[in-house]
Chain A
Amino acid sequence: MSDIRPVGPTRAETEQDAAEQVMTVGVPETPLTVEPERKPGKQARPASLWNDAWYDLRRRPLFVLSAVLIAILLVMAVFPGLFSRVNPMDATTCVLSNARQAPSSVHWFGTDNLGCDVYARTIYGARNSIVVGVSTTIVTALFGGLLGLIAGFKSGATDTVLSRTTEIFFAIPQILGALLILSVFGTGNVWTIMLALSVLAWPMTFRIMRAAVITAKNQDYVIAARALGAGSGRIMFRHILPNAVAPVIVIATINLGGFIAAEAALSFLGVGIQSPDISWGLMIDSARDRFLEAFAPLLFPALFLSITVLAFIMLGDAVRDALDPKLR
């Protein structure tokens, strides 16, 4: 239709303009929508996949809610002192005679078996969870993503070797495998946990990246780029990667919550974070014996854990919806 009048604005363009107007008129000022001031007369930058996704995300209550939660958690992880005046790493703050107190104005979440403040410990526990979750996600996304890109692009023997390798890892249950790896290491801290989880989790990212690359590789624009003289490296990183990275981002975000839960599980089982370091999983473990006498030391870290995992999974969901044009 629009072909009949190639000189005027195309339909897509008019829609774009309309969308632009809605964007500048209809959005209330929130910290998330801070945009650089547009100079009058200068053409507004049109929507790419990422701009579109961002535009779409900001309008999703699910995204806003999870983003706010995650922002709070990140601040908590970096500056726990902002939330709690008590430093739980200081042993003098634990008074044994105060053990298992109910929540009060002094101890908001009560105290645990050793008389330590549960609120302070819960706040300080966020850091380990976040560090494990984020670092595992980054390592698996980079490692699995890169190998997936190579396997999908090269195909043939390279692909076969890499793909069969991932299948071996798929056969190992994640928690059992991590348990085994960590008991070999002997010490549980954030970095060994990260390593153990990464070793077992990269094949998932690998597969998703590989599939996305194979889809992108056979697109006409990749063949066209080749026909116009682009080399292999350029085709791989400039033409295929940007078109294949979206599903990896989605799965990474969703996995992040899973890694946090896995860290808690490993700490709960005693091979993860070790006392006196603080972890939600560890707190749940030590509170479980006396749960009937004092529910608070178990309830609050469990609640924080659930909310954190939920926040990341909700974020992943929102990102997926925004990046997948077919779901719009």
Chain B
Amino acid sequence: MKNNSQQPTILPIKKIVQETPAIKTYTFEHKLGAEPGQFVMLWIPRVDQKPISISRQTDSSFDLSVFKVGKATEALFDMKEGDKVGISGPYGRGFNIEPKKNIVLVGGGCGSAPLRMLGEEAEKAGCKVTFITGAQTSKDVLFKDALSDTCITTDDGSAGFKGFTTQKLAEILTENKDTDKVYTCGPEVMMKGVVDVCAKHKISCEISMERYMKCGFGICGQCAVDPLGICICKAGPVFSGEMAAKITEFGQYHRDKAGVKHEL
């Protein structure tokens, strides 16, 4: 990509995998050079363009795991291998990996997507990774087998631990006193719970926030959060637990594409 240019790079979809009834993974053959936790803007011509996190990366390819949630993702779900989309980025600040640490990843639903890439990169950096991936039922669980040490949680108990990811995290942190850091991505109320559990156990954590984005590169101000006024797309989407505590709207409310506030 040229200096300063955010114009989308057009890439054909190399491979599509149906992960769960509502999540598909799209593979692209392109050296993206992203950090775990960064995102791309995915353009579907004449439909929309959305921020999507990166679930896997190799030297010559990257994966996007997408939850079907609205018009843009529905259009993407109708696309076939070989169809072209536009990719801009990678954007934002990702997760910080410290080598050789004991870490726990807590993913809720499609929030497990960026954690898979993080987990793989952290393992390469010599970390011992425990991955909690939670969903409502067994068929909704994302990345059951992606990382070696994976705990599944389901709300209805149809697979793995019956209950919330936060309960499983509390259990792990109580048992394993040598956990150095926790990373989380998922529904904001869940992440708020993770931050609280970590605070109770005095363990540092990083969260990945989501807000409605327009530009993706810190100019329009659409994804700014209260009361800091910083843009999620540029200063985030990953924040430390301490920063999350300063973002008072975290776990409370968000603004829609018009800028109108809604409670979470």
Report whether chain A binds chain B.
Answer: no
Residues of B with Cβ closer than 8 Å to A? none
